[in-house]
Chain A
């Protein structure tokens, strides 16, 4: 169902939770790549010989050696793997998280909503039903803003190519049956988020006309609701809520006009470029500006889809073909995967640097923003979800345990004592914003219940946990 309720009408928003910290709530940037995030390629160079085994077949990625106990090491004095090297200067804010599983999800090309929601849904071509909200949706509800959630993407569903409109990639949901939309066009995303700053100095009259139009539309929809009685009320409710939401949002944006103008990104040719890397860069610029200007506290960037060809990186093959270890002109498929990951990480480092330059309390905005990089296909092109790696950059105002020089955390492998699932990672994020629930999504029925309850104690400071 393509029905996302107007974000401003969510009745259950906890408006007071962060009232005291309204000016510096925690922020989240989820970066979701397709085709899996290769665990072996996250291992620092010094440990590679000990922790990585060669790929099973020629052209396939190397594999991370599983561990039967928790590995918790400092990354200080260690050289990050080549594709992560732009994070060297941000190592104090870096956690490499390995060994979690997510076998309550579907796996394959995409776990769809399951990747951030921890449940089985969808099939090869369709995302299926958002049975529960996903973690970005949950956080969006907990951290209200003018735009509770901003989704930016290159394409729609995982097998599709680059799009230029609003799409539903099927990975985020604000609630049951309420998928979250993503904007695939950087220029339209800019217009929606920062448009008021551009138009602000133009005729006041135009602004008034817009408000008048929205008022008229609210009245018009209500009149039809009266005329047709109970038939399909839900649809008109959504349409009405959409107008009301727009009207209220305009009012709020107006109040923030100066701030928005100050932080709006500079529009360049990249916003209308056909080159995939240009569009991704524009999306990351928008994501950073959205967080810095306070327009939203939760942004998800769907960094690519399987039908994307990274021409801007000199790669001649779709991500899909690379995932199948096909040959690529002038490089191995593993090289191509590394180059794509490096490009994503460069973007993340760019955003992190921008956030680090914004002073906040006694640190910077990066201390209170967590960037979460992972894949909706877990650990490989056809994800098995038996391991699900994450790269975390940033902080949550000291609620996240930090290790000087960065941290490498690898949980015991699937089935071993101490093994944890991605649900616990998401619970950690929820706990960090005060949402102290014990369970998230559905459980993996092959694992013990206890191992799936509560946040990752290794990740959070004990004061945050219940």
Chain B
């Protein structure tokens, strides 16, 4: 096309004076031609689409409005969102040239394009055209960028524990690698995580602490007595004890030990030499012990201990992509599945049959060294073996157990980040309504939800459908009959407990009445079962779980009290954000930000129902977006903002959550109808009676399945998908569907895909 050639010429011609100006004018003309050909048929006239008129777009980039306009155009073009699918698509090269023109013009006025930032941010993942990702028109080849991926906070904790077991009990260790905790977004995107000056400040402090803990120990004063806490590896002791200069061999042994703990590998010759030199120079100044501490710190601070390298040190493909080496793959898989390094992640050999002792199974690192971790098939086999070997059978939810022993930790983290239910304890609820211990109660709900999702993951049949529709829940389940018996025994026998009389009386009464008591030792915490509309005094606790809750009341994770609270406001339900969540997470759709001129406030008049108060969003300018959210979220009005099922909504200020105490309160019948519109799957569009019908509808949709796959992709790749990843997404969806709704097959497919294995 003419203007493409023109732009190419423009890019090499002199940028001086008149030539530049005339070039700018002409390229602006050419850009306008593009808009005229593909955009203005909709974006023109008195009421242009999206309020955006492009018929005479300004090319004066010094004007902020012009910059904003072209940023929008660039975004739409780059994300494939415009022109719409039913319009002729401009040639790829033409789009590329227009993008380049805009980027160059922005650069001239000192502006950066916002598209790069958005591409890297999880919040913008859905901007990429959904149909194009799944229609097979994109053929790859897929790859991830060669990259450094900073350790996550949990992985860092594991390394600290490995180097200095128990150091946290002795002193404070600060978390240097915090992640953004925004509700409902995938937290750990590789491109967003940096180790900068502020991170280093914390890292340095931690390294100093650990180096002391590993050598001379940390002093701690308790009740006037001085304690020295330390854990010194055998390889360090001779250096600490030596009065004279130590031998090179002794230094090498110490370096070797720490290196293996940190990176699961031995130092290279060059690395070893450098650390030996550092030790000797340090020893000359301050002696052996200080030198050892300095050397340990240097090892802990090395970039490879902070960033996982995913460069692609393996074979190079003709198209320029490079495979991750087996060593890189071992790390990538270990951190995709766990928070441990590849030396600690053991893979049972499925070929040897079941029953192999996990302790004697080879580690990922050993598999890599043995040449058993290089092909896509190898990866798939290893991933499935690991996911199958770690089940909820060992889960432990007894009191005082912070670690619930969930093996597939990263899978659980994905579910948490995707659904966002683990934010329930962070939603501030007025103390007078919820009573004391609210945080503790909502944490209980999160535990229940964790068991709900992981149980379905273990069963691995129709996972997404059952996540959305199963009415079999876990409530205060401890993991097994034995664990329940253990905690009940504790409640009945621990005479020193403050509430012993009261709690043991409760257990006795329940057992005498032929009911199973709730194995929780505090009455106020037992009350939390009310969130499920269960009576804490009369409920016969099911010792086998999951168990069915009344089907007419609630089904699936979106009607779990943890999810409902996590997506509620401080004082009310939050139909808008619930609807937005469904739009973005289940329908791969996008909702624009609230416009700058809008002061969006729900009227505070509590004598009207929330549905009624939300009528303010019916104004034309609001409804355009709100129609995509409100009718979805309002289907959940059959629950209050604590997740309790209800038939009527109380009007007026709610003084406690126990509405029966409101003798004078007015109630309105609950209207829990809703509607799915423009879902992207015409089969499921239409009105719904309630949330129960809504989730059944959603669970039947392939669009929903694909949206789920896209989010899983982002979690396990640590980035947003691109069109080149289309074959990976299609294969993952296929693996899920062909294996009967198998989430494990989906994960194995993602991790054995080109997107995961190749770098460029």
A→B interface (CB under 8 Å): 1-7, 103-104, 107, 120, 123, 125-126, 129, 159, 164-167, 176-177, 181, 188, 191-192, 203, 205-206, 208-209, 212-213, 216-217, 219-221, 224, 228-229, 231-232, 235-236, 238-239, 241-243, 245-246, 306-307, 318, 320-321, 324, 326-327, 382, 384, 442-443, 445-446
Contacts and interface: CB of A to CB of B under 8 A. Distances in A.
Contact of A1 (B194, B200, B201, B282): B194
B282 A239 contact: no
B290 A205 contact: yes
Given A166-B202, A321-B430, A220 B182 contact: no
Contact of B200 (A104, A246, A384): A246
Contact of A2 (B192, B309, B432, B599): B192
Given A123-B593, A166-B202, A181-B198, 13 more contacts: A107-B599, A126-B123, A166-B174, A208-B285, A208-B286, A209-B291, A216-B278, A224-B303, A235-B148, A242-B196, A243-B200, A246-B200, A306-B428
A188 B570 CA distance: 33
A336 to B, nearest CB: 15
Contact of A443 (B64, B121, B205, B301): B64
Contacts of A321: 428, 430-431
Interface in B278-320: 278, 281-282, 285-286, 290-291, 294, 297-298, 301-304, 306-307, 309, 311
A209 B285 contact: yes
Contacts of A382: 601
A176 B428 CA distance: 32
Contacts of A220: 274, 298, 302-303
Interface string B554-584: 0000000000000000110000000000000
A445 B596 contact: yes
B194 A231 contact: no
User: Which of A107, A213, A243 has most B Cβ within 10 Å?
Assistant: A213
A150 to B, nearest CB: 12
A217 B601 contact: no
Given A2-B194, A177-B117, A213 B298 contact: yes
A6 B196 CA distance: 7
Given A104-B596, A209-B282, A238-B194, A167 B178 contact: yes
- Those 9 A-B pairs whose CB atoms lie nearest each other, nearest first: A231-B146, A181-B198, A205-B286, A3-B194, A242-B200, A242-B197, A126-B182, A232-B148, A166-B198
B180 interface: yes
B524 interface: no
B199 interface: yes
A440 to B, nearest CB: 12
A176 B205 CA distance: 29
Given A129-B117, A321-B430, A442-B64, A203 B196 contact: no
B60 interface: no
A212 B64 contact: no
A7 B303 CA distance: 20
Given A107-B599, A167-B178, A307-B428, A231 B311 contact: yes
Contacts of B197: 4-7, 181, 238, 241-242, 245-246
A231 B298 contact: no
19 contacts: A1-B120, A1-B194, A104-B596, A123-B593, A129-B121, A209-B282, A212-B282, A213-B294, A220-B274, A232-B148, A235-B195, A239-B307, A242-B196, A246-B197, A246-B204, A326-B430, A384-B599, A442-B64, A445-B65
A165 B174 contact: yes
Contacts, number: 161
A236 B178 contact: no
Contact of A212 (B281, B430, B596): B281
B495 to A, nearest CB: 32
A224 B268 CA distance: 13
Given A205-B286, A228-B311, A307-B428, A1 B192 contact: yes
Q: How large is the interface on B (under 10, 10 to 19, 20 to 34, 35 or more residues)?
A: 35 or more
A203 B193 CA distance: 37
Given A213-B297, A231-B148, A324-B570, A446 B597 contact: yes
A402 to B, nearest CB: 35
Nearest to B172: A164
A212 B175 contact: no
Contact of B196 (A126, A229, A238, A326): A238
Contacts of B290: 205-206, 209
A54 B168 CA distance: 53
A11 B294 CA distance: 31
B185 to A, nearest CB: 8
Nearest to B183: A125
A232 B294 contact: no
Contacts of B281: 212
A320 B196 contact: no
Contact of B286 (A206, A224, A318): A206
A190 B304 CA distance: 30
B311 A242 contact: no
B377 to A, nearest CB: 27
Contacts of B150: 235
A411 to B, nearest CB: 20
B285 A205 contact: yes
Contacts of A213: 278, 294, 297-298, 301
A321 B278 CA distance: 55
A232 B147 contact: yes
Interface string B46-79: 0000000000000000001100000000000000
B256 interface: no
Contacts of A165: 174-175, 178, 202
Contacts of A245: 197
Nearest to A166: B198
A165 B206 CA distance: 12
Contacts of B114: 129
A209 B294 contact: yes
B599 A228 contact: no
A197 to B, nearest CB: 18
Given A126-B180, A326-B430, A217 B298 contact: yes
Interface in B401-417: none
B311 A239 contact: no
Interface string B252-293: 000000000000000000000010001001100110001100
Nearest to B760: A231
B390 interface: no
B298 A203 contact: no
Contacts of A2: 192-194, 196, 199
Contacts of B117: 1, 129, 177
A306 B428 CA distance: 10
A4 B185 CA distance: 23
B112 interface: yes
A177 B121 CA distance: 12
Contacts of A221: 303
A216 B303 CA distance: 12
B205 A188 contact: yes
Contacts of B286: 203, 205-206, 208-209
A192 B196 contact: no
Nearest to A178: B196
Given A4-B198, A238-B196, A228 B309 contact: yes
B391 to A, nearest CB: 34
Contacts of B599: 107, 384
B597 to A, nearest CB: 7
Which residue, B172, B431, B596, has most C-beta atoms of chain A within 10 A? B596
A4 B570 CA distance: 34
A213 to B, nearest CB: 5
Contacts of A236: 148, 303
A164 B150 CA distance: 22
A162 to B, nearest CB: 14
Contacts of A239: 195-196, 200, 303, 306-307
A81 to B, nearest CB: 27
Contacts of B307: 235, 239
A126 B420 CA distance: 15
